[in-house]
């Protein structure tokens, strides 16, 4: 008889994570608390947040929880093949069997780390994929559809927050630069 997946995300956990994304002032602290909280709340091995740099066509790890330094330094995550292109296209990618899935970039390193399955959820802002929220499980994982949907909503919420923070930082830089202009040049500027 086939094992039915059980939903792991409760409304309480969803609300707590969603509230944190909405209210934290410091995005770095939020990211650290988010990956740690996901690991604890959903009893998974590890979690990471990656951002996509379209100029270098590479994913850069922003923060991780539960992974060794050896695994984290395994190599770059270049997006020039199909192994990460699928997730960056905006699709959720579930790797149920890391050892035998050809889409996995570093399968031997993942197995040595004790990773058996992985979920990769795009962090999106509108239709643009900003990065990936990756969750790693040390057991074979049978993912419930409701959990996948919840992770997608949380990742979209995080994408909105990342975009907002980037725009706010840009505005602060413009404001600081404008503040150093001579007064005669600032006439009519509403900063």
Length of the chain measured in residues? 191
Mean pLDDT lowest for which of 6-15, 110-119, 162-171?
6-15
* Region 162-175 average pLDDT: 81
Planar angle of CA 163, 168, 173, nearest 5 degrees: 125
**88-99 confidence digits (pLDDT tens):** 888 999 999 998
- State pTM to two decimals: 0.83
- Confidence band of 7 (pLDDT split at 50, 70, 90): confident
Neighbours of 35 (CB within 10 A): 23
Angle between helices 145-179 and 27-42 (to 10 degrees): 170
Q: Is 126 helix (H, G, I), strand (E, B) or coil?
A: coil
Percent of the residues in the chain that have a pLDDT greater than 90, as a whole number: 43
Per-residue pLDDT band at 1 (split at 50, 70, 90): very low
Helix locations, 43-144, DSSP H:
69-72, 82-88, 107-113
| Spatial separation of the C-alpha atoms in residues 68 and 107, rounded to whole Å | 15
Mean pLDDT of the chain: 86
Regarding the domain delimited by 11-186, which CATH topology (the fold level of the hierarchy) does it fall under? Beta-Lactamase (3.30.450)
């Amino acid at each position: 008889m086939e094992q039915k997946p059980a939903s792991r995300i409760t409304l309480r956990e969803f609300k707590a994570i969603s509230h944190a994304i909405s209210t934290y002032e410091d995005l770095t602290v939020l990211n650290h608390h988010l990956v740690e909280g996901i690991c604890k709340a959903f009893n998974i091995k590890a979690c990471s947040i990656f951002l996509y740099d379209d100029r270098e066509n590479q994913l850069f790890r922003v923060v991780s929880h539960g992974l060794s330094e050896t695994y984290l330094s395994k190599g770059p995550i270049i997006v020039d093949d199909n192994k990460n292109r699928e997730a960056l296209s905006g699709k959720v990618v579930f790797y149920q069997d890391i050892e035998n899935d050809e889409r996995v970039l570093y399968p031997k390193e993942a197995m040595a780390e004790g990773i058996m399955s992985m979920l990769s959820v795009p962090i999106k802002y509108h239709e643009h994929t900003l990065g990936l929220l990756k969750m790693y499980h040390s057991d074979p994982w049978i993912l419930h559809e409701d959990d996948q949907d919840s992770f997608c909503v949380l990742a979209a919420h995080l994408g909105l927050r990342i975009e907002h923070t980037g725009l706010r930082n840009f505005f602060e830089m413009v404001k600081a630069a404008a503040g150093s202009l001579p007064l005669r040049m600032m006439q009519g500027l509403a900063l």
